[in-house]
Amino acid sequence: MLQFDASDLAKQVEALGEAEIDAQPFGAIRLDDKGAVTFFSKAERELSGYGARPTVGKIFFTDIAPCMANEGFRGRIEAARARGTLDIAFSWIGDFADRGREMLVRIQSASDGGVWIFMQRPARDQ
Protein backbone atom coordinates (compact mmCIF):
# COMPACT_ATOMS: atom_id res chain seq x y z
CA MET A 1 0.00 0.00 0.00
CA LEU A 2 1.20 3.49 -0.76
CA GLN A 3 1.92 6.01 1.98
CA PHE A 4 -0.63 8.81 1.84
CA ASP A 5 1.92 11.40 2.95
CA ALA A 6 4.53 10.47 0.36
CA SER A 7 5.92 13.56 -1.33
CA ASP A 8 5.62 11.89 -4.74
CA LEU A 9 2.26 10.22 -4.18
CA ALA A 10 0.86 11.17 -7.60
CA LYS A 11 3.91 9.77 -9.35
CA GLN A 12 3.61 6.54 -7.40
CA VAL A 13 -0.10 6.26 -8.20
CA GLU A 14 0.51 6.83 -11.89
CA ALA A 15 2.85 3.84 -11.88
CA LEU A 16 -0.03 1.60 -10.77
CA GLY A 17 -2.76 -0.06 -12.78
CA GLU A 18 -6.39 0.84 -12.14
CA ALA A 19 -7.00 -2.28 -10.05
CA GLU A 20 -4.04 -1.41 -7.83
CA ILE A 21 -5.28 2.15 -7.42
CA ASP A 22 -8.71 0.80 -6.55
CA ALA A 23 -7.13 -1.35 -3.83
CA GLN A 24 -5.57 1.60 -2.02
CA PRO A 25 -7.16 2.58 1.31
CA PHE A 26 -7.69 6.13 0.08
CA GLY A 27 -9.78 7.55 -2.72
CA ALA A 28 -8.27 8.89 -5.91
CA ILE A 29 -9.72 11.23 -8.51
CA ARG A 30 -7.93 12.47 -11.57
CA LEU A 31 -8.90 15.69 -13.30
CA ASP A 32 -7.65 16.79 -16.68
CA ASP A 33 -6.30 20.26 -17.32
CA LYS A 34 -9.87 21.49 -17.90
CA GLY A 35 -10.99 20.17 -14.51
CA ALA A 36 -13.03 17.28 -15.92
CA VAL A 37 -12.95 14.00 -14.01
CA THR A 38 -11.04 11.37 -15.98
CA PHE A 39 -10.61 8.74 -13.29
CA PHE A 40 -12.55 7.93 -10.15
CA SER A 41 -11.22 5.11 -8.01
CA LYS A 42 -13.39 2.38 -6.60
CA ALA A 43 -12.33 3.32 -3.07
CA GLU A 44 -13.47 6.87 -3.65
CA ARG A 45 -16.80 5.70 -5.02
CA GLU A 46 -17.30 3.48 -1.99
CA LEU A 47 -16.02 5.89 0.64
CA SER A 48 -17.49 9.15 -0.51
CA GLY A 49 -21.14 8.18 -0.45
CA TYR A 50 -22.23 11.38 -2.07
CA GLY A 51 -22.32 12.86 -5.49
CA ALA A 52 -20.01 15.84 -5.54
CA ARG A 53 -17.74 14.38 -8.21
CA PRO A 54 -18.03 17.01 -10.93
CA THR A 55 -17.30 19.85 -8.54
CA VAL A 56 -14.78 18.27 -6.24
CA GLY A 57 -11.83 19.73 -8.07
CA LYS A 58 -13.17 23.23 -8.14
CA ILE A 59 -13.49 23.66 -4.42
CA PHE A 60 -9.81 23.43 -3.70
CA PHE A 61 -8.88 26.12 -6.15
CA THR A 62 -11.67 28.60 -5.82
CA ASP A 63 -13.73 27.82 -2.78
CA ILE A 64 -11.52 26.79 0.11
CA ALA A 65 -12.24 30.20 1.48
CA PRO A 66 -12.95 33.59 0.02
CA CYS A 67 -9.69 34.61 1.67
CA MET A 68 -7.87 32.42 -0.83
CA ALA A 69 -9.52 33.79 -3.92
CA ASN A 70 -7.34 36.74 -4.80
CA GLU A 71 -5.81 36.97 -8.24
CA GLY A 72 -2.23 36.66 -7.07
CA PHE A 73 -2.92 33.48 -5.20
CA ARG A 74 -4.84 31.91 -8.05
CA GLY A 75 -2.01 32.83 -10.34
CA ARG A 76 0.49 30.98 -8.19
CA ILE A 77 -1.74 27.90 -8.20
CA GLU A 78 -2.10 28.02 -11.97
CA ALA A 79 1.61 28.54 -12.46
CA ALA A 80 2.40 25.55 -10.26
CA ARG A 81 -0.14 23.48 -12.18
CA ALA A 82 1.50 24.49 -15.43
CA ARG A 83 4.93 23.56 -14.08
CA GLY A 84 3.63 20.28 -12.66
CA THR A 85 4.85 21.15 -9.17
CA LEU A 86 1.56 21.72 -7.36
CA ASP A 87 1.24 19.92 -4.03
CA ILE A 88 -1.61 20.80 -1.68
CA ALA A 89 -2.29 19.10 1.64
CA PHE A 90 -5.64 19.76 3.26
CA SER A 91 -7.03 18.54 6.57
CA TRP A 92 -10.36 19.04 8.29
CA ILE A 93 -11.13 18.30 11.93
CA GLY A 94 -14.51 18.61 13.62
CA ASP A 95 -15.06 18.91 17.32
CA PHE A 96 -17.41 16.99 19.64
CA ALA A 97 -19.51 14.79 17.37
CA ASP A 98 -16.56 14.04 15.14
CA ARG A 99 -13.91 14.40 17.79
CA GLY A 100 -10.55 13.31 16.59
CA ARG A 101 -11.75 12.53 13.12
CA GLU A 102 -9.59 14.07 10.49
CA MET A 103 -10.10 14.05 6.78
CA LEU A 104 -6.96 14.43 4.74
CA VAL A 105 -6.78 15.49 1.12
CA ARG A 106 -3.76 15.72 -1.14
CA ILE A 107 -3.77 17.43 -4.51
CA GLN A 108 -0.77 16.92 -6.74
CA SER A 109 0.06 17.64 -10.33
CA ALA A 110 -0.58 14.84 -12.78
CA SER A 111 1.87 14.07 -15.56
CA ASP A 112 -0.61 15.15 -18.25
CA GLY A 113 -1.16 18.67 -16.93
CA GLY A 114 -4.16 17.78 -14.80
CA VAL A 115 -4.22 17.00 -11.11
CA TRP A 116 -4.77 14.07 -8.81
CA ILE A 117 -6.95 14.43 -5.74
CA PHE A 118 -6.45 11.86 -3.01
CA MET A 119 -8.78 11.60 -0.02
CA GLN A 120 -8.21 9.71 3.18
CA ARG A 121 -11.20 9.44 5.48
CA PRO A 122 -11.39 8.26 9.07
CA ALA A 123 -12.83 4.80 9.63
CA ARG A 124 -16.52 4.90 10.53
CA ASP A 125 -16.00 2.98 13.79
CA GLN A 126 -13.25 5.22 15.15
102 is an interface residue for another protein by CB under 8 A: yes
Name the region of 6 (left: φ>0; alpha: ψ -120 to 50; beta: rest).
beta
Cβ(29)–Cβ(44) below 8 Å: yes
Nearest to 114 by CA among 74, 91, 89, 82: 82
What track of x and - describes contact with another protein for positions 36 through 55 (by CB under 8 A)? Answer: --------------xxx--x
Q: How far is the CB of 119 from another protein (least distance, A)?
A: 9
Q: Are 41 and 21 in contact (CB under 8 A)?
A: yes
Q: How far is the CB of 103 from another protein (least distance, A)?
A: 6
Q: Which residues bind another protein (CB under 8 A)?
A: 50-52, 55-56, 59-60, 63-71, 73, 76-77, 79-80, 83, 85-100, 102-103, 105
